[in-house]
Amino acid sequence: MRKLFLCLITIMVAAPVGAQDLVDQIANALEPKVIEWRRDFHANPELSNREFRTAGVVAEHLRNLGLEVTTEVAHTGVIGILKGAFPGPTVALRADMDALPVKERVDLPFKSEVISLYRGEEVPVMHACGHDTHVAMLMGAAEALAGMRDQLHGTVKFIFQPAEEGAPPGEDGGAELMVSEGVMEGVDVIFGLHIAAGTYVGKLEYRPKGMMAAVDDFRITVKGKQAHGSAPWMGVDPIVTAAQIVNNLQTIVSRSLELTKAAAVVTVGAIHGGVRSNIIPEELEMIGTIRTFDPEMRTQLHSRFRTIVTNTAESNGATAVVDLPYSAHYPVTFNDPGLTDQMMDTLERTAGKENVVLIDARTGAEDFSFFANEVPGLFLFVGGKPLSVPADVKVSHHTPDFFIDESGMKLGLRTLINLTLDYMNQASTQ
């Protein structure tokens, strides 16, 4: 199959067609394989730092393409190096591989039934953020560009990254660890994209400068005094204390931050405490996330957070320990303005000018930010919402109902190929 496809690329390169027509033909030929890969990954999702099977499939594919392959980078990451025939820049392309502890509710033939361990508990696992599509698209881009190596002016580094959703507590991982292990050494520029369930198929979304928020997760441990549920005056109730902490934390954004300057979010995502209806527990744990765009506001929010948690607990006779950040702490995902402007013609040619959309900053976060802090980076959203779904019907990422129209992946594939080729060609003619 690979030999047939490489022969197809050779025929296309030799044929009298324009560069865009060539990329479109290659993408059309690769689309069935990209969909097949995506469905395989979707049916076999793996949690952060546990992407063993996924990494194995990726590594084998890259070796079959004749790339230089390095495995076990940042635990389970895979790096593939494709050297073109001519000198030029090194372009990095990145995809994240991990799934989430979510039970899938969409009835698909390749629906996930996987159960794994997360924080010591058995949990269902699902690709509820589309990382399966990212891996499949980058595998397709690797195959396409490998078939063009005789025309490439430079080197392509394919980065298949683990643990974008955050390494398990007590572990390191993700883009930050990859950077510390030297993955970005020698790289001139990096491109990445994310499938978007709320954006219609055929659309590309971008924003110069800050596109996605910085994130800091937190853990709060509230310690009280255990007592019988029928006699709460004999103890100190960490559950009541936690309820007051949750409410009081929301006043930080609404009353302490200058929101006309930048957005911010504080969310408590989980509370664990107690085992029986008639026992007031001794201890309770809360975990959650903070999102910010402005460094000064981030510092201010952290300070107010600690003050509110500590003083609210004290006012109830309890104590609270704050771990902030707890495990994840990504900077703002920043698109280099010069690079964004440089590649606009590529984006508009690939998707059509009317389909390249400037968006507001989003409070989601991406550890692609660590890569883009090292070299100029450009991160994009590619549409995955079916055209048949009404605009007011929205499905969130990280939910059981997350769904992607697979036809959107072809635009992502074409975008990765065109960004690489155009950047290399522009550099070679300077």
Catalytic residue, chosen from 206, 330, 366, 423, is 330
Tell me, what DSSP letter sits at residue 318?
A: -
Same fold, 2-213+332-428 and 214-323: no
Residue 11's pLDDT band (cuts 50, 70, 90):
very low
Residue 359 CB neighbour total at 10 angstroms: 13
Is 165 catalytic? The answer is no
- CATH entry 3.40.630.10 includes domain 2-213+332-428: yes
In tens, the pLDDT along 79-97 reads 999 999 999 999 999 999 9
14 pLDDT more than 50: no
Residue 16's pLDDT band (cuts 50, 70, 90):
very low
- pLDDT at residue 328, as a whole number: 80
Residue 398's pLDDT band (cuts 50, 70, 90):
very high
In tens, the pLDDT along 258-272 reads 999 999 999 999 999
By DSSP bridging, strand 356-358 and strand 204-206 are parallel
In whole angstroms, what is the distance from residue 398 CA to residue 324 CA? Answer: 22
- pLDDT at residue 430, as a whole number: 73
322 pLDDT more than 70: yes
Q: Using DSSP, state whether 200 is helix, strand or coil.
A: strand
428 pLDDT more than 90: no
**Mean pLDDT to the nearest integer, 159-171:** 93
Q: Where are the domains of the chain?
A: 2-213+332-428, 214-323
1 pLDDT more than 70: no
The number of residues in the chain equals 430
In tens, the pLDDT along 41-60 reads 999 999 999 999 999 999 99
Residue 225, both tokens: 């005094």
Task: With CA atoms as reference, report the closest residue to 179 among 420, 372, 379.
Answer: 372
Bridge partners of 330, per DSSP, are: 215
118 pLDDT more than 60: yes
399 pLDDT more than 90: yes
Domain topology for 214-323: Alpha-Beta Plaits (3.30.70)
- pLDDT at residue 15, as a whole number: 38
**Mean pLDDT to the nearest integer, 358-362:** 97
**Mean pLDDT to the nearest integer, 140-154:** 97
- pLDDT at residue 18, as a whole number: 62
- Phi and psi at 12, nearest 5°, equal -65, -45
In the chain, % of residues over pLDDT 70: 96
Is 374 catalytic? The answer is no
Residue 191's pLDDT band (cuts 50, 70, 90):
very high
Catalytic residue, chosen from 46, 51, 143, 406, is 406
In tens, the pLDDT along 22-40 reads 899 999 999 999 999 999 9
In whole angstroms, what is the distance from residue 376 CA to residue 338 CA? Answer: 9
